[in-house]
Amino acid sequence: MARRKRDSASAPPRSLRNRARERLQTTRTDVAKMTPENVQSLVEDLQLHQAELEIQNEELREAQQALVAMRDRYHALYEFAPVGYVTLDMEGRVIEANLAASAMLGPKRNQLMRRRFTDFLAPESQDTFYLAWHRNKDNGQAHATTCELVLHERAGARTVVQVQCEQLIGDHGEGAEMFCALVDVTARKHAEQAVERLNVELERRVEARSATLRQREEELGTILDTAPEGILTVGQEGVVLKANRAAQRLFAESEAGLSGRSVTELLPGVEQWLRRQHGAERDGDAVQAFQRGGRLEVVATAADGSTFPARLSLARVPAHDFFVVIVMDMSESRKLEREVLDAAEEERRRISRELHDSVGQSLAGLAMMVRSREKRLAALGEEVYQALAETRIGLEGAVRDTRAVIHDLAPAGLDEGGLAHALERVAERLREQSDIDCTCECIGSEPPIDVGAKLQLLRIATEAAHNALKHGAASHIALRLESGPTRVSLAVSDDGRGIGAVPEGMGIGIMRHRAQVIGGRLNVARRTPRGTIVVATVPL
């Protein structure tokens, strides 16, 4: 703020007329004593001085005109400024005010003069102005102080102004006047109050939303912890982030122990599925499981090194860029399925024995009886002989069909020579029943697995061979059994139309289920250039 300084009053100078008279009197006295030469010189000096005075007079007129223009410009800036200007005497009375100040304070400008500035302030702002006034007044120097004041209400509206006051120092170093600038900040105050109300409302909403989210999080946490299936949250790098209580029980490890571990250590087989999510893997069991709905059968590994069969439901959460793995312990289910299959096999064997001992024996006896009497009754006529021959042929076909059913119900060979011998019998029967070329190759010793597992592998080989013969129109089928130190592998390959020629049906689903029951895996793939290969693998 520009500082102003009032000049003290001084005595008025002598008038130009008095000085001229004195100068003329002196000149007359001097002229009387002068010679004509001196008078001529004096006249010339006076003429030169007159010319200088005229030049100075012109410069003074120009300076006066510039001062008038500056005064008018200052007056316009002062009067029409958007900021209110008020000059107060040291008693706080108004001695000058511009139009903006008059509009803010209320009364007309002539009615403002000599009134105390505090008359226009609201009661709550009186003390504020008093402290600011005396802080500036007692300072004894030109120093600006700023405060916010509320004016008296007019037409039910409150006006808030920001006031900056500066003391004007006189010639003797004492305060002469107080110059104040007033800025209307009512709109800004209203905006600040509106923002404050919005902030309060926003904080209230955020708090309510946070409380709702906390409640939902607690509910979700309770649901997750009470869920019977293990639930793992896995990050993009395949590292476990969280684990519910069921997962902690399954893997015999606390949540802190599970957090940070690689999911592939706990669930071998998930790695391919994770790579598939990043587009780096396009085949494999995990991908096929994902394509069937995000389910995968694996052998899980607990913290103590023990393993258990598990069914996984895999899902990706794109919004948060992590995976959710639901782990279901299939131990009891597999045990029950194994018991059901064993019971079914036992029932098959019982039916097979009953068919062999009753229906099979009866049909074979009838066929032998017809064959023995066929020649003796030939003398009765050609028609009788032909009828007996047809009866015999029908009975012999029924005997063959019954023996095939008996063999399917209870495959021969497992009790006689093990799985390798049973597979050779399957290849032999295929060659007998059709003109197809079927080979059997067994590598290694007899697999060290129980009879139930061998029986399921035999069922898989039989089903795969029948599928190749019935659906694939194959001309060659190869059975291959390989027993290694860590696993037993059974492969059935053919040169038929291939797995892509017909949709995957119930037969492949049953084979998968049989492999899973004995803790193995089944992979079905298309061969090059044609054909299908079915591989069942059982770990040792």
Range of weakest confidence among 18-22, 164-168, 516-520: 18-22
Phi/psi of residue 480, nearest 5 degrees? -140, 120
Return the CATH number of the domain spanning residue range 227-329: 3.30.450.20
Output the pLDDT for position 208. 93
Sheet containing 322-329, strands listed edge to edge, beginning at the edge strand earlier in sequence: 240-243, 230-234, 322-329, 307-317, 295-301
| Helix, strand, coil percentages for the chain (3-state, nearest 5) | 55, 20, 25
Q: In the structure, what pLDDT confidence band is assigned to residue 463 with cuts at 50, 70 and 90?
A: confident
pLDDT at 9 over 50: no
| Cα separation, 144 vs 147, whole angstroms | 10
Pairing of strands 532-539, 487-494: antiparallel
> What does the mean pLDDT of the chain come to?
78
CATH topology for 423-540? Heat Shock Protein 90 (3.30.565)
CA torsion 411-412-413-416 (nearest 10°) is 130
Three-state DSSP class for 78? helix
Residue 15's pLDDT is what? 56
Which one-letter DSSP state was computed for residue 299? Answer: E
Query: Among 272-276, 289-293, 531-535, which is the least confidently predicted range?
Result: 289-293
Q: What is the dihedral of CA 312, 313, 314, 317, to 10 degrees?
A: -140
Whether residue 302 contacts residue 253, with contact meaning beta carbons closer than 8 Å, is answered with yes
Cα–Cα–Cα angle for 102, 103, 105, rounded to 5 degrees? 65
> Would you state the pLDDT for residue 191?
92
Q: Which structure tokens are listed for 392?
A: 């015999």
Residue by residue, DSSP assigns 394-457 as HHHHHHHHHHHHHHHHS-TTHHHHHHHHHHHHHHHHHHHHSS-EEEEEEESS---S-HHHHHHH
Query: Hey, CA dihedral for 359, 365, 368, 370, is it positive or negative?
Result: negative
Tokens representing 234 are: 């896995």
Cα→Cα distances 113→82, 94, 178, 265, Å: 20, 5, 14, 91
CATH code for the part of the protein at 84-184:
3.30.450.20
CA distance 323 to 275: 12
| Residue among 83, 145, 89 nearest 117 (CA) | 89
Contact partners, residue 489, CB within 8 Å, separation at least 6: 481, 482, 535, 536, 537, 538
Torsion (CA) 88, 94, 95, 98 in degrees, nearest 10 = 100
173 pLDDT band, cuts 50/70/90, is: low
pLDDT band at residue 183 using 50, 70 and 90 as cut-offs: very high
Mean pLDDT, to the nearest integer, of 350-361? 66
3-state DSSP assignment of residue 253:
coil
| Residue 532: both structure tokens together | 């299908």
Find out whether 370 and 416 touch, Cβ atoms under 8 Å. Answer: no
The pLDDT of 147-175, averaged and rounded, is 81
224-233, 247-256, 392-401, 421-430: which range is least confident on average?
Answer: 392-401
Which residue type, as a one-letter code, is found at position 227? A
Q: Is the pLDDT of residue 282 over 80?
A: no
Q: Give the three-class secondary structure for 305.
A: coil
Contact 231, 243 (CB under 8 A): yes
User: What token pair was written down for 298?
Assistant: 């694996």
